[in-house]
Amino acid sequence: MTSVPTTALVLTTPPAAPAVGGAGSAPTALTPELKARLGELFAKCVKGYHHVSAEPIKESPWENINAEVLAAAGCAVTSKSSGSHKSGSDITCALGDLSNKSAKYDGKKSRMSISSYRLTTVCSPTAHGTAESIVAAIDGKKDFQYYSVVVYSEKGETLEYDWYMIPADHPALSPASYEWRHKTGKIGPKKGEVVGWETNEVEGSHMSITYSMSSQLWIHLAVTPELRTHIVGSCTVSSKPALSYLKLGEMFA
Q: Decide if 153 is inside a domain.
A: yes
Contact 83, 60 (CB under 8 A): yes
Contact 94, 141 (CB under 8 A): no
Q: Decide if 1 is inside a domain.
A: no
Q: Decide if 2 is inside a domain.
A: no
The residues with which 185 forms a beta bridge, in sequence order, are 191
Contact 7, 179 (CB under 8 A): yes
CA 211: distance to chain centroid?
21
Q: At residue 225, what is the residue type? A: P
Task: Compute the distance between CA of residue 145 and CA of residue 50 in angstroms, rounded to an integer.
Answer: 29
Run of H or E including 208: strand 206-210
Q: Decide if 251 is inside a domain.
A: no
Q: Decide if 19 is inside a domain.
A: no
Q: 51, 65, 135, 157: which is closest to 102 by C-alpha?
A: 65
Q: Decide if 48 is inside a domain.
A: yes
Q: 16, 17, 43, 30: which is closest to 74 by C-alpha?
A: 30
Task: Compute the distance between CA of residue 133 and CA of residue 16 in angstroms, rounded to an integer.
Answer: 25
Phi and psi torsions of 193, nearest 5°? -90, 155
* 65 Cβ neighbours under 8 A, 6+ residues apart: 42, 45, 46, 49, 57, 150
Q: For helices 32-50 and 59-72, give the axis angle rounded to 10 degrees.
A: 130
> How does strand 96-104 pair with strand 146-155?
parallel
Count of the separate structural domains present in the chain = 1
- The pTM of the full predicted model, rounded to 2 decimals, is 0.86
pLDDT tens track of the chain, all 253 residues? 334 333 333 333 333 333 333 334 677 799 999 999 999 999 999 999 999 999 999 988 999 999 999 999 999 999 998 655 556 789 999 999 999 999 999 999 999 999 999 999 999 999 999 999 999 999 999 999 999 999 999 999 999 999 999 999 999 999 999 999 999 999 889 899 999 999 999 999 999 999 999 999 999 999 999 999 999 999 999 989 989 999 889 998 8
Q: Decide if 36 is inside a domain.
A: yes
Q: Decide if 18 is inside a domain.
A: no
CA atoms within 13 A on the CB side of 93: 28
Q: What residue numbers bound the domain in which 82 lies?
A: 28-244
